[in-house]
Structure 1
Amino acid sequence: MQGTVEGFSFGAVTPAASYLVACVGSALGLRCVIRSLSNRQSWKPGWLALGAATIGCGIWTMHFVAMAGFRIQGIPIDYDGRLTALSLVVAIVTAGLGVFAVGYRGATPVTLTAAGILTGLAVVATHYTGMAALKLNGSLGYDSPTVAASVLLAVTAATAALWSAASFRGFPAALGAGLLMGVALTGTHYTGMAALSVHLRGATDASYMTGMYGSSSSASILLPLLIGPVVFLILAGVVVMFDPQLVLGDGDWSRATPRRRRATAAVPERPAHPPRTASLFEPRDQRADRRTSSRGR
């Protein structure tokens, strides 16, 4: 028996919210990666780790925000806590491989392409690991060509976002790359959901009919895991906001520094001690001696 799948039970609310989370996490993470390229070696691992964790949290949070609108008619849904947590780890680790490759090998075409592939695979792996965490009275099936399309979309859009972030500096470029990365995340999710089919296993047990959020076990699993990554994204945003180079971009910040230097150089420096001048009330011979001694110095 085939189950009727509904992916937009709250209308446009969940797709819009998931896209917003994806854009925020991606923009912050990409800015951290670009920041690491112009930073001292001692700070590079910290910026790269922050970028990987931010992108991974954005991917994971986007998936489960979008899943809030997922329903199967007549079937309650729950989540396996271990696989749900594993999907977050997969997102951060897989995205981290691409992030650290760019940070340490530079923004070369080969590295950016490889990092884009890894980041796209992070999106795909997070989605299908998160789907494997579903607990329901049935089994999941996927249409292979549609799954392949979701993988291609994730890899292509993620690679384009990384190229855009590395090629153009400044806040507008970061915003554009984040919007493009948001398309990769949400597009992959809903393309993968279009490939989904559910085969139900006979009649549903009435004791299991508590709904996706009606059971305390579901709330105890999802709510803490959603709150944690969201709080982390907020803290990452605070770090970015208080770093001038991340806000202005490498090019803008480097151009602003010479302007400040020129403005400083245009102002003549005051001598530490004003030159001593001879007094009109001094005798003429003393004034002559003072001038002779100053020439000697």
Structure 2
Amino acid sequence: MVDHFAYGFLTPAIAYAVSVIGAFVGLMFTARARNAFGVARWTWLTLSAVCIGGTAVWSMHFIAMLGFQVSGASIRYDTALTVASGLLAIAVMGVALYMTINRRTRGALLLGGAIAGLGIVSMHYMGMASINMHGDMHHDPLYVGLAGVIAVVAATVALWFSLRLKGIPATLAASLIMGVAVSSMHYTGMIGVDVTMHSDSHATQVEGAAASELLLPLVIGLFVFLMVCSLLLMLGVDDTGARRPSRAAGRAAPSTPASQEGDERYDPRHRSPGAWERRR
């Protein structure tokens, strides 16, 4: 028997809360990336991709997986696939954010949403493939397709939020919606999971790391990173990149006295011979 809620609604609630926090911090970073240029924009987009892809999506998935149990089965996780699934979520979200923020067209938004959505659902099933047990796991194609549709729609909406939102109330509301979307994608896919146990399920030990040995340290590490990012936002670190010096320079530039302006007009280096005569 497959149980997705081994600890009741505790793990879904924690997973949803972490997803909302990751989405909120990530969207705050994208708001700064819109007004930045050069290295500053790359920095904010990278932080946003880690927060949204790594925390709002990947961490939500594996926190929810802590409540996944199969009767009579010992569940272990392949370390390489687990880490690769997290890197995939971050990478596709980074590509989608870069396309959307830099081009700011409807086509870029839709393409970025498709890339991010398909990447997110691929992360989900890569994470499922990282599970080792004495049994075969099957996925209902109907629920796989539904999870993919939800992922693409959720990613597109998230990218639209990253282009439009201003202010903390709007960003918080969007984060709550994103948390619902990501959780819906996860549990839609999980509904279609079925496991067939092997007859020799107790004959050998299952390879891989237990959830407490692998998932908890990774999730806690990402959550600590999220708290550091929140501190950066609260401290109000400059988000304008190269634009700030130019504005400051413009404000600091002294006005040119009329006499000096006149001297400059009469300077032969700036005017051709006879220019003063023509002005008179």
Residue identity matched to 2:195: V
Deviation at 1:35, TM superposition (A): 1.3
SS in 1 for 2:86: helix
Look at both structures and tell me which one has the larger radius of gyration over its CA atoms. Answer: 1
Deviation at 1:221, TM superposition (A): 2.2
User: CA separation of 1:65/1:217 partners in 2, compared to 1, >3 Å: closer, same or farther?
Assistant: closer
Residue identity matched to 2:47: L
Matched, 1:132 2:96: no
Matched, 1:227 2:224: no
Matched, 1:95 2:93: yes
Deviation at 1:216, TM superposition (A): 7.1
SS in 1 for 2:73: coil
Deviation at 1:202, TM superposition (A): 1.1
SS in 1 for 2:39: coil
For residues 66-105 of structure 1, what are the structure 2 equivalents within 5 Å? 66-105=64-103
CA distance in 2, matches of 1:177, 1:245: 24
For residues 1-297 of structure 1, what are the structure 2 equivalents within 5 Å? 4-58=1-55, 59-106=57-104, 108-205=105-202, 208=205, 218-243=211-236
Deviation at 1:8, TM superposition (A): 0.3
User: What residue number does 1:263 align with?
Assistant: none
CA distance in 2, matches of 1:98, 1:127: 18
Report % sequence identity: 36
CA distance in 2, matches of 1:238, 1:91: 24
Deviation at 1:23, TM superposition (A): 1.0
SS in 2 for 1:191: helix
Deviation at 1:217, TM superposition (A): 5.1
Deviation at 1:99, TM superposition (A): 1.1
CA distance in 2, matches of 1:188, 1:180: 12
Q: In 2, are the aligned partners of 1:165 and 1:177 still within 8 Å (CA)?
A: no
Q: TM-score, normalised by structure 1?
A: 0.75
User: What residue number does 1:264 align with?
Assistant: none
Q: In 2, are the aligned partners of 1:157 and 1:183 still within 8 Å (CA)?
A: no
User: What residue number does 2:259 align with?
Assistant: none
Q: In 1, are the aligned partners of 2:34 and 2:163 still within 8 Å (CA)?
A: no
Deviations 1:121-140 (A, max 9, x none): 23212211110000000111
Q: In 1, are the aligned partners of 2:79 and 2:130 still within 8 Å (CA)?
A: yes
How many residues are paired up? Answer: 239
Deviation at 1:203, TM superposition (A): 3.2
Residue identity matched to 2:144: V
SS in 2 for 1:43: helix
Deviation at 1:244, TM superposition (A): 7.4
Deviations 1:67-120 (A, max 9, x none): 0100001111001111111111111111111011123223x2222222222222
Deviation at 1:141, TM superposition (A): 0.8
CA distance in 1, matches of 2:134, 2:148: 28
User: CA separation of 1:101/1:31 partners in 2, compared to 1, >3 Å: closer, same or farther?
Assistant: same
SS in 1 for 2:137: strand
User: CA separation of 1:217/1:145 partners in 2, compared to 1, >3 Å: closer, same or farther?
Assistant: closer
Deviation at 1:227, TM superposition (A): 2.1
Residue identity matched to 1:136: M
Deviation at 1:195, TM superposition (A): 1.1
Deviation at 1:48, TM superposition (A): 0.7
Deviation at 1:164, TM superposition (A): 3.2
